[in-house]
Structures are given as structure tokens and as C-alpha cells.
């Protein structure tokens, strides 16, 4: 059992209750379920069996700057829909605003749903008014942190170097970093997509392979637009190759999520693309019916 996967017994939890630090509530092994039969047939571009089909899908919600305590009712409905059959099939994570992490973690106790945050400061503590460290989010009950979301890269000018520092901070706090990368519309139109992804991977990823990568074309986020399935396949295959080149065997086991206007109506076809190991869902994660619809498609 790895450093990130040991059960801990936080003082504030009832006796006998274990939570898992790092990844989602199950240990890392749970990201690698036995290959479901419908995925065994998948092949990669070379016609070889797609070994990544064994990664258990992760459906992660990103509530962005939405939600007060009233929104916890939606979280409770998501948990109610995350039944035994769905638990076996996929991991569910909901990344709520920092103000809700503690309350959401309490609501999610024993449900199998894990709670994440959307950003953190790179340092563990200090004179950084208004910022929140990964350690604080872990203490509040988070299991994962989104880092490098394009809205933070745009709104706050976050660089690859800063994203990498935040990813390292998440790991330091035993949380799973979900590192976001993706090209702008202009970059796609000028044929730079793969070069942008390569640069962002090189600059944003931490040393450890205990991460999740989210491919989110900036122009697809919140717009209702999505790349073609062929474009998603190309990007994910490229990211997989880069991860394998950088981390070796461990790179082949890193979940790669697709994000950008995923909805119940398009989830099945997107999630069926090779090397798409789940989804990062913004708008459609705010309503339990939509989020569960996406989960049902996984």
C-alpha cells in the first residue's frame, strides 16, 4: 500500500470510520478494476489491446463558484443515486467551493462519493491573506484538488510552473491533484494543439505519477461545443504517450479525464473513446439528475 493510500483515522471522525487519503475514498487499487468485458475489445491505433481500459472511470464534478449550503441537497441526491452497481463501475468525485468542503465531506461520509476542492496555494501555511493551502483542504475533508483549470490560468494568470507547484502541494498534503491542460480555440485553429499539450504536460506535472490529468479544450468549457470524437481520441492518445514516456509503467495507469461540455446526451460516446478514463464535468455537475445521467453513461 503506497504512501497516498493508507487509511487514516482523523480525530473528528467517529471511531471505526476509515477514510482514504489520496485519490478517491477507495485505495489506489480501486482505480484499476478488472477489465469489464465491453472494454476488453477496445484496441489502440495499432490494433493492440488497450491496456488502459482497466482504469476504473472517474466522473468528477466541478461546481466552480457555485453553491451555498442549499446545494448540499443536490450532493445528497447524487449520493443516493450512486448505488452499489455504480460504485463497482466508477469513482464519483465532487469538487465543491472551498467554503463547502467540510460540510460536503460530512454529507458524503459513508456514501462512497468523495469530495474535492478546486485550487490551493502552493505553500502549506503563511502570510497569504485569502489563500487556502492543500493541508487546510485535506483537514476539511477533501480527497483531491483540481489544479491548473483554464479559468484559473486565464483569470489569475497561473503559469505551468505555478500549476506544478500546486500539484506538488496537493501531493504533499496526500491529496490527488487533477492537473488540467488544454488548448484555446486559436491554438486549435492554428494547429498547435499537441504542441500546447506537450508544453503544459512538461511544465505542469509534478514528479509523482499519483495524479489525474484532465484534458479540457478551453473553447469547449461551458460553451456547449465539443471536439469531434477523433480529436478527443488524438489528444488522449498523445497525452497517454507523453505520460508513458515520462513516468514509464506508472504513466500508463494515470487516469486521463475529458472535460468540456460533457452532458448526459454526449457522455456515452465520449467516455467510449480509447484512453478517456472519465470526465471532468462543470455545468452538468450542479444538478444531480444531469450528473447521474453522465455517470449512468460511463
295 part of the interface to ligand PEP, by CB under 6 A: no
200 part of the interface to ligand PEP, by CB under 6 A: no
Question: 54 vs 120, which CB is nearer to ligand PEP?
Answer: 120
Query: In 3D, which of 177, 152, 174 has the Cα closest to residue 165?
Result: 177
Query: Segment near ligand PEP (CB under 6 A), from 1-9, 24-32, 42-50, 258-266?
Result: 258-266
Query: How distant, in Å, are the alpha carbons of 38, 103, 113, 151 from that of 159?
Result: 40, 31, 31, 12
Question: 23 vs 282, which CB is nearer to ligand PEP?
Answer: 282
259 part of the interface to ligand PEP, by CB under 6 A: yes
Question: 171 vs 214, which CB is nearer to ligand PEP?
Answer: 214
Q: How near is the Cβ of 116 to ligand PEP at its closest, in Å?
A: 12
Q: How many residues does the chain have?
A: 298
36 part of the interface to ligand PEP, by CB under 6 A: no
Q: How near is the Cβ of 239 to ligand PEP at its closest, in Å?
A: 16
276 part of the interface to ligand PEP, by CB under 6 A: no
In the region spanning residues 153 to 192, those forming contacts with ligand PEP, defined by CB under 6 A, are none
How open is the CA angle 87-93-95, to the nearest 5 degrees?
Answer: 165
Q: How near is the Cβ of 281 to ligand PEP at its closest, in Å?
A: 5
181: phi > 0 → left, psi -120 to 50 → alpha, else beta; which? beta
226 part of the interface to ligand PEP, by CB under 6 A: no
Q: Spell out, one character per residue from 64 to 103, where the chain touches ligand PEP: x when CB under 6 A holds, - when not.
A: x---------------------------------------
- DSSP assignment of 67-127, as one string? --GGGHHHHHHHHHH--HHHHHH-EEEEE--GGGHHHHHHHHTTTS-EEEES--BSSSSSS
In DSSP terms, 94 is beta-bridged to: 61, 115
Q: Which residues of 166-195 are buried (b: 16+ CB within 10 A; e: fewer)?
A: bbbbbbbbbbbbbbbbbbbeebbeeeebee
Q: Which of 75, 108, 196, 262 binds ligand PEP (CB under 6 A)?
A: 262
Query: How distant, in Å, are the alpha carbons of 57, 94, 159, 284 from that of 223?
Result: 24, 21, 24, 12
Q: Which of 31, 282, 294, 295 binds ligand PEP (CB under 6 A)?
A: 282
149 catalytic? Reply is: yes
Taking the CA atoms of the chain, what radius of gyration do you get in angstroms?
18
Q: How near is the Cβ of 84 to ligand PEP at its closest, in Å?
A: 27
222 part of the interface to ligand PEP, by CB under 6 A: yes
216 catalytic? Reply is: yes
Question: How many residues of this chain bind ligand PEP (CB under 6 A)?
Answer: 14
* Interface residues toward ligand PEP, by CB under 6 A: 62, 64, 216, 221-222, 259-262, 280-284
Catalytic positions are 149, 216
Amino acid at each position: 500500500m503506497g504512501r497516498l493510500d493508507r487509511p487514516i483515522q482523523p480525530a473528528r471522525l467517529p471511531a471505526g470510520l476509515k477514510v482514504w487519503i489520496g485519490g478517491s475514498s477507495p485505495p489506489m487499487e480501486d482505480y484499476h478494476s478488472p477489465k469489464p468485458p465491453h472494454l476488453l475489445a477496445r484496441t489502440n491505433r495499432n490494433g493492440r489491446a488497450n491496456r488502459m481500459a482497466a482504469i476504473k472511470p472517474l466522473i468528477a464534478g466541478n461546481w466552480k463558484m457555485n453553491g451555498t449550503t442549499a446545494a448540499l441537497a443536490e450532493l445528497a441526491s447524487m449520493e443516493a443515486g450512486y448505488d452499489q452497481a455504480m460504485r463497482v463501475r466508477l469513482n464519483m468525485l465532487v469538487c465543491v467551493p472551498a467554503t463547502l468542503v467540510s460540510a460536503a465531506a460530512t454529507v458524503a461520509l459513508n456514501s462512497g462519493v468523495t469530495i474535492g476542492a478546486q485550487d490551493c496555494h502552493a505553500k502549506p501555511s503563511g502570510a497569504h491573506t485569502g489563500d487556502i493551502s492543500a493541508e487546510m483542504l485535506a483537514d476539511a475533508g477533501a480527497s483531491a484538488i483540481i489544479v491548473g483549470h483554464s479559468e484559473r490560468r486565464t483569470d489569475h494568470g497561473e503559469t505551468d510552473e505555478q500549476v506544478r507547484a500546486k500539484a506538488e502541494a496537493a501531493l504533499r498534503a496526500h491529496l490527488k491533484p487533477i492537473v488540467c491542460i488544454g488548448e484555446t480555440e486559436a491554438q486549435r485553429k492554428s494547429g498547435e494543439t499537441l504542441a500546447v499539450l506537450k508544453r503544459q504536460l512538461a511544465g505542469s506535472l509534478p514528479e509523482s505519477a499519483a495524479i489525474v490529468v484532465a484534458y479540457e479544450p478551453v473553447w469547449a468549457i461551458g460553451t456547449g461545443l465539443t471536439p469531434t470524437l477523433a480529436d478527443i481520441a488524438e489528444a488522449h492518445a498523445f497525452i497517454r504517450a507523453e505520460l508513458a514516456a515520462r513516468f514509464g509503467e506508472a504513466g500508463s495507469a494515470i487516469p486521463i479525464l475529458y472535460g468540456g461540455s460533457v452532458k448526459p446526451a454526449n457522455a456515452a460516446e465520449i467516455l467510449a473513446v480509447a484512453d478517456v478514463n472519465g470526465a471532468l464535468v462543470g455545468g452538468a455537475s450542479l444538478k444531480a439528475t444531469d450528473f447521474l445521467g453522465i455517470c449512468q453513461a460511463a
